[in-house]
A and B are shown apart, each in its own frame.
Chain A
Amino acid sequence: MAARTALRRALRPLRSAIIPSEQQLHLARPFSTTLPSRAANPSSSSSSSSTPEYAIPNPARPTHFGFETVTEGEKRERVAGVFTSVAESYDRMNDLMSFGWHRIWKDHFVASLNPGFSPLTSDTDPRGPQHILDIAGGTGDIAFRMLHTAHVLNANPSVRVTMSDINRAMLTVGKQRSAELPASQQAALSFVEANAEDLTRTRPLHPYPSPAEPTTHDAHTHKPEQAFFDPATATGSIPDASVDLYTVAFGIRNFSNIPAALREAHRVLKPGGVFACLEFSKADKHPLFNSLYKEWSFRAIPLIGQLVAADRDSYQYLVESIERFPSQTEFRDMIVDAGFVVAGEGYEDLTGGVAAIHKGMKPRA
């Protein structure tokens, strides 16, 4: 509690510069959350590596925090702050942003992936049991649905799910919620702290607030405990070609460096593995609907955030980050640039484009 208040207080002066106005609503914003390619100096191309420079996380490089420009490092901390402060009111927030649609979107997302499905043959998959990595897993909405579909609907209890998030507070709530799952599903579920932009440095979940470390009530005498994962404390890594299905739902727009995250997704997936992303998107194919939705999100949601959670700034950030995120086709192109192949258009609009599902497959080398 005290930590959240402190974080909020820390955020407030930074955020107060942003007041939603007509002007901002109508600004053309063709750029994505992350502008790595613009920030990176193309002439100073790094060594002989095939990795573009913008795809390497750099805490000092400018990126966006809502409509502000901050460094990647700052954004990471501030995103952590936002999600620490909304961790508990989180479900309510999702309902507000999507008019309750997010549950249906999530159901559809998971059903369309059909995890754990296996052809009815005598021989099991020679490549071993399916491993699903749910990135930015938050409080577990996607991971739990995956387990249910795989274990119950597809009767395939060998499927394992790893739930990962940069924010221990969110992941801790997820772990608490998982206590209500059947024991077999709990046994197939693990929790990992990691920054999606660098999955070579991870550690198992250390609950937040940590029972061992000083509690946040001692904030006056001790440094407050960090909610977000510090890569310096890493003890593990997600190996190359170890994942069948990589999912990220309502997470990727918060990443400081989206190309780096896509590159990591490509690295950890097996050949034939699938990248699947559910995210708020652009409804601008329907102008009237779009303007109503924008009015709602820019005016009503921060206000409701203020009233419901006494946290206008965090909700304001969430609205702005949605606005900043690239269009369906731009994001599809980023997925292809990271080395994935797509089917059809590579994406599917939900509810007129308020959200979209993007999928890509890692081809065989």
Chain B
Amino acid sequence: MTRPAATAPVLTRSIATSPNRPTSRRKYQRYNALQTRPRCSHQPRLSAISRRRYHSHDHPAPAGPFTPAEAALLSAAYHHVPSHGFTPESLALGARDAGLLDISPSILRDGAFSLIRWHLHTQRASLAGKAEKLAAAEKDKPMTVAEKVEALTWERLKGNVEAGIVGRWQEALAIMAQPSYVPTSVKELAQLADEIVYLAGDVSVDPSWYTKRASLSAIYAAAELFQTTDQSPEFRETRAFLRRRLDEASQAGGAMRSIGEWIGFNAGAAVNVLRSKGVRI
């Protein structure tokens, strides 16, 4: 790779000035499939916790955006997930497809979890396009906000089927339940709920907004878990499960039950992962 001759002055600047230079920002321009759009201003910020015990506490993994190098590695690896799971194998096979080396994915800080982040991010990003299709179909028969929430959540669940990862999702949940990845995983889930509520056209800015979002997160997570064991044609039972839960959510306690189930599963998965790594618990 040849570098432009203009490198020297850039370096001079990069050494002499503060870290927030426009040059470096241009270089670190991220691949971000989600456009920035106005949305509720009171989104809570989940603080990052340390990824491993001896690591810094102030370096959260960038949740959504990916550098071009990451995007190239991860998009190639994603094709291997249906057959090899969210694993280092998929990453290495993807690197080979991209004309790179087995060692190349080692630049990804979170290994297989980066691949999960890629899945979550690209699936979430594709919802906007699906919302447009729904809106077009809606012309003759307008939908309520609640109906749109259900339709979009179902679209997101179908995304798992289309990507061929339903059979791999329990493994992924086990990785996501590892303590260092929980904050990012929870944040992704919250962002998905945001996106669905936003695309469904709910513009209310009142205290119920938090409740709605929390309920939707919990219901989505429960439905996704249900999906991993669903053998019915076209995941009909998952769809019915989703409907029931959304109906229940209007009654007190419904959301809490979903949250409880989700936590229960993830705690179990986390224990199994730790055991498989030789931790005696």
- The answer to whether B8 and A31 have CB atoms under 8 Å apart is no
Residues 25 to 75 of chain B near chain A (Cβ within 8 Å): 27, 52, 54-59, 61-62, 66-70, 73
Q: Interface code A346-365, partner B: CB below 8 Å = 1, 0 otherwise? A: 00111111000001111111
Contact A117 B88 (CB under 8 A): yes
* Contact flags B1-38 to A (C-beta < 8 A → 1, else 0): 11111011111101110010000100100000000000
Specify which chain B residues have a CB less than 8 angstroms from the CB of A274 in the assembled complex: 101, 103-104, 106-107
A119 near B3 with CB under 8 A, answer no
Q: Which of B91-99, B162-170, B215-223 contacts A (4 or more CB under 8 A)?
A: B91-99
B147: Cβ under 8 A from any A Cβ: no
Cβ–Cβ contact A329 & B19, under 8 A: yes
CB atoms of A343 and B8 under 8 A apart: no
**B248 at the binding interface (Cβ < 8 Å):** no
Interchain CA distance A118-B58 in the complex, whole Å:
33
Q: Give, as a whole number of angstroms, the nearest-CB distance from A338 to chain B.
A: 8
A66 interface hit (Cβ, 8 Å): no
**CB of A270 within 8 A of chain B?**
yes
A residues near B93, Cβ cutoff 8 Å: 119, 121
Q: How far is the CA of A127 from the CA of B69 in the complex (A)?
A: 20
Decide if B15 touches A326 in the complex (CB within 8 Å): yes
A334/B107 contact (C-beta < 8 A), A37-B8, A119-B93, A273-B101 known: no
- A349 to B109 Cα, complex, angstroms: 11
Contact for A353 among B15, B52, B56, B69, CB less than 8 A = B56
Q: Which of B87-126 contact A (CB under 8 A)?
A: 88-89, 92-93, 95-96, 98-104, 106-109, 114
On whether the beta carbons of A345 and B103 are closer than 8 Å, the reply is no
Bitwise interface map of A from 102 to 121 toward B, beta carbon under 8 Å scored 1, else 0: 00100010001111011111
Q: Give the interface residue-count category, chain B.
A: 35 or more
Supposing A285-B58, A350-B56, A364-B100 touch, asked if A54 and B107 sit within 8 A by C-beta, the answer is no
* Closest-CB distance, B69 to chain A (whole angstroms): 4
A341 B69 Cβ-Cβ under 8 A: yes
Instruction: Choose one: B19, B89, B102; the contact of A330 (CB below 8 Å).
Output: B19
8 Å CB interface, A25-41 against B: 30-32, 35, 37-38, 40
Q: In the complex the two chains form, is B12's CB within 8 Å of A113's CB?
A: no
Check A54–B56 contact: CB distance below 8 A: no
Once the chains are docked, how many angstroms separate the CA of A363 from the CA of B11? 20
Check B92 against A119 for contact (C-beta < 8 Å). Answer: yes
| A104-B54 in contact given A121-B93, A339-B3, A343-B67 (Cβ < 8 Å) | yes
Give the Cβ gap from A270 to chain B, nearest Cβ, in Å.
Answer: 6
A 95-139 to B, binary, CB cutoff 8 A, 1 in contact else 0: 000000100100010001111011111000101001000000000
> How long is the Cα–Cα vector from A333 to B14 in the complex, in angstroms?
7
Chain B residues whose CB sits within 8 angstroms of the CB of A364 once the complex forms: 98-100
0 or 1 for each of A308-344: is its CB under 8 Å from B? (1 = yes): 0000000000000000001101100110111101111
The 3 closest A-B pairs by CB, nearest first: A272-B100, A349-B56, A272-B101
In the complex, 11 of the A-B residue pairs with CB atoms within 8 angstroms, ordered by the A residue number, are A35-B15, A52-B3, A119-B93, A119-B102, A271-B100, A272-B95, A274-B103, A326-B15, A339-B3, A343-B114, A344-B109
* Chain B residues engaging chain A, CB cutoff 8 angstroms: 1-5, 7-12, 14-16, 19, 24, 27, 52, 54-59, 61-62, 66-70, 73, 84, 88-89, 92-93, 95-96, 98-104, 106-109, 114
